[in-house]
């Protein structure tokens, strides 16, 4: 019997939903994809408190998602929340509000779970035998070192597009001093991740909204058709650095006009690209491959494996009867 499997991923910047029709043999077809920019981590401050406006925007988006999935039969929902909710001092109250107003249990996953799902989503859809995966979100970045087709190390670091942009005032005019501070800050974090140097010279796989934007800017710049078709798209490190240089020389209004940057992301794109730019330099990596497959797809593949296992078990029980 076909199952409608909905994955909701509540990040710090956006909330996304993918609904797939899943067959008993582990095949699937993506039916619906929705995304809303909710900026949940906006103005959380050092107290790490989710703000009323951000909460309302999030509830509104979840309500719109519900209108879509509530029409489906044989529905299974897996809803996860990442860095913003993970760090929030008022996490319990927020989860309660979502439960009472929307009726879903939001599962707050750890940074390492998030990183692992990213790995599953990437490795099922791209050749990733040896490489370093980076998923830059709104409030965190997940980094996964893959060696010989297996995860050898992973980490979630609280450096994201929203957090870095606000900490170093990078949303409008980018001052040399603030950019320098941001670079020193992120490089220091990288230096403290002892295993990261094992990724020296390995190719990088980038996912998350900021990294996807980097790919889109380059596809538009090179007049490639179908800007959004970036899964497996590659860029040399020189192209990546040139793009970053073009972006940091612009103010907010000018960045909004750059083809490939959505207006909702123009104020956080500088902070959002710092982690990948510095990682490529830190590891002296010569290229980056982009993936549109990550956390949500990782959760979907996990479900597909479960279904296949259940069916194998049912078949072997039938044989016993």
Q: Label the pairing between strands 28-37 and 75-81.
A: unpaired
Identical fold, 3-109 and 112-290:
yes
Q: What are phi and psi of 200, to 5 degrees?
A: -50, 130
CA 111 to chain centre: 12
Which pLDDT belongs to residue 321?
63
Rounded mean pLDDT for each run of 10 residues along the chain, 321 residues in total: 94 94 91 94 90 97 97 96 94 97 97 96 92 95 96 95 93 97 98 97 96 94 76 95 96 96 94 98 97 96 90 72 63
Which pLDDT belongs to residue 84?
92
Which pLDDT belongs to residue 311?
81
> CA dist 38 to 22, 59, 123, 210, Å?
29, 9, 29, 15
- Kindly list the strands in the beta sheet with 234-236, ordered across the sheet, starting from the edge strand earlier in the chain: 150-157, 141-147, 131-136, 204-207, 287-290, 234-236
Q: Rounded to whole angstroms, how far apart are CA atoms 129 and 292?
A: 18
Pick the CATH number of 112-290 from 3.40.50.2300, 3.60.15.10, 3.30.420.140, 3.30.420.150: 3.30.420.150
Q: What is the second-level CATH architecture of the domain 3-109?
A: 2-Layer Sandwich (3.30)
Global pTM value: 0.92
Spell out the domain ranges in the chain.
Answer: 3-109, 112-290
Q: Which of 90, 135, 133 is nearest to 108 (CA)?
A: 90
Which element (helix H / strand E) includes 14?
strand 14-22
Which pLDDT belongs to residue 319?
67
């Amino acid at each position: 019997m076909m199952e409608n499997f909905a994955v909701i991923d509540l990040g710090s910047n956006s909330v996304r939903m993918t609904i797939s029709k899943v067959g008993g043999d582990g095949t699937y077809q993506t039916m619906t994809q929705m995304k809303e920019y909710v900026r949940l981590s906006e103005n959380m401050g050092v107290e790490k408190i989710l703000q009323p406006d951000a909460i309302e925007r999030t509830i509104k988006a979840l309500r719109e998602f519900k209108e879509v999935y509530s029409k489906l039969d044989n529905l299974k929902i897996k809803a996860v929340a990442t860095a913003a909710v993970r760090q929030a001092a008022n996490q319990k109250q927020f989860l309660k509000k979502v439960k009472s107003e929307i009726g879903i249990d939001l599962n707050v996953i750890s940074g390492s779970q998030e990183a692992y799902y990213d790995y599953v989503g990437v490795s099922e859809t791209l050749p990733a035998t040896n490489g370093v995966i980076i998923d830059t979100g709104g409030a965190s970045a997940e980094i996964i070192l893959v060696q010989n087709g297996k995860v050898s190390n992973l980490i979630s670091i609280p450096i994201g597009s929203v957090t870095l942009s606000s900490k170093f005032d990078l949303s409008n005019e980018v001052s040399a001093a603030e950019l320098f501070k941001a670079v020193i800050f992120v490089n220091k974090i990288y230096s403290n991740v002892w295993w990261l140097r094992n990724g020296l010279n390995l190719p990088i796989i980038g996912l998350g909204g900021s990294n996807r934007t980097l790919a889109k800017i380059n596809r538009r710049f090179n007049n490639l058709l179908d800007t959004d078709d970036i899964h497996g798209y590659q860029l040399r490190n020189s192209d990546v650095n040139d793009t970053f240089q073009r972006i940091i020389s612009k103010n907010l209004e000018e960045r909004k006009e750059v083809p490939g940057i959505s207006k909702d992301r123009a104020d956080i794109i500088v902070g959002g690209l710092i982690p990948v730019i510095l990682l490529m330099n830190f590891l002296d990596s010569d290229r980056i491959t982009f993936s549109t497959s990550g956390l949500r797809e990782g959760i979907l593949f996990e479900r597909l494996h479960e279904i296949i296992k259940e069916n194998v078990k049912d078949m072997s029980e039938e044989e016993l009867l």
